[in-house]
Structure 1
Amino acid sequence: MGKVSELSMLVDELKKCGETLIGISEELTELFSSTELEKQPIKKSAAKMKEPEPPAKKELTLEEVRAVLADKSRAGFTEQVKELLKKHGADKLSAVDPAEYKALLADAEVIGNAG
């Protein structure tokens, strides 16, 4: 019976990991989604799965915004990133008002995506 209970514990742990990953993916989708219409709920294959608690809305951090802008800059869009910073009232990211972070990320999303 020891192996069965061990397997049962492993299955439970795997379910928790899956729920955590779903929560993370939903939060990332929300973070990088430019409109509410683009969001689509993730379909769950098993009705028995517990619904994960919705992640609390958190403020964006300087580090999160810096990571996105650094990726854009490395992709060859340094000038566009500098223009965005100026548009949001600063010459460097650390001078941008944290209230502007969400709008700044929304503007940064379109860099390199325009066809």
Structure 2
Amino acid sequence: MAKMSKLSAELDELKKCGEILIGISDTLRELFSTAEQEKPTKESKKKESVAEETPKPERKALSLTDVRAVLADKSRNGYTSDVKALLLKYGAEKLSDINSSDYEALLAEAEVLGNA
């Protein structure tokens, strides 16, 4: 009977590893799909030069990439299910579906994962 409980524990660990790999895969897919969309064009470079002339706000708005980096790190550290729960809390299946106005609150909640 001890062999069965050991096998069960190992299967549970294998399942957890698989979920972590899926989370990392999803994060990388979103990261690379976003990187392709964000390639600058000539017009955007002109707009950037105009934007450099205007004063920048004191506080930089969080970007999808900023939030993704933190969530990916938490996922790699074994908090994949917690990260998914946070996404669901904000009404999304994946990070790219979350409203950018919620990034700051989401990031604040994500940063406390594993610190308690």
TM-score by length of 1: 0.51
Question: C-alpha separation between the residues in 1 aligned to 2:92 and 2:61?
Answer: 20
Q: Tell me, what secondary structure is at the counterpart of 2:59?
A: coil
Structure 1, unmatched stretches of 5+, are 1-54
Q: Which residue of 1 aligns with 2:108?
A: 106
- Taking the aligned partners of 1:113 and 1:93, their CA distance within structure 2 comes to 22
Report SS of the residue matched to 2:58: coil
- Percent identity between matched residues is 62
Q: Deviations over 1:43-83 (max 9, x none)?
A: xxxxxxxxxxxx72111000000000000000000000000
Which structure is higher in helix share?
2
Distance apart, 1:103 and its partner CA: 0.2
User: Residue 98 of structure 1: CA displacement?
Assistant: 0.2
CA distance in 2, matches of 1:89, 1:103: 13
Structure 2: distance between partners of 1:68 and 1:109:
7
Equivalent in the alignment of 1:67: 69
Aligned match of 1:17? none
Could you tell me how far apart the structure 2 residues matched to 1:102 and 1:113 are?
18
Aligned-pair Cα RMSD in Å: 1.1
Question: Where does residue 79 of structure 1 map in the other structure?
Answer: 81
Aligned residue number for residue 90 of structure 2: 88
Distance in structure 2 (CA, Å) of the matches to 1:106 and 1:72:
13
CA distance in 2 between counterparts of 1:81 and 1:61 reads 17
The 5-angstrom pairing of residues 40-55 of structure 1 reads: none
Correspondences of 1:9-24 after superposition (within 5 Å) = none
Partner in structure 2 of residue 5 of structure 1: none
Question: Counterparts of 2:64 and 2:96 in 1: how far apart (Å)?
Answer: 7
Q: How many corresponding residue pairs?
A: 60
Measure how far apart 1:110 and its partner are: 1.1
State how far apart, in whole Å, the 1-side matches of 2:112 and 2:90 are: 15
Query: SS of 1:63's equivalent?
Result: helix
The runs of 4+ residues in structure 1 deviating greater than 3 Å are none
Runs of 5+ in structure 2 lacking a partner? 1-56
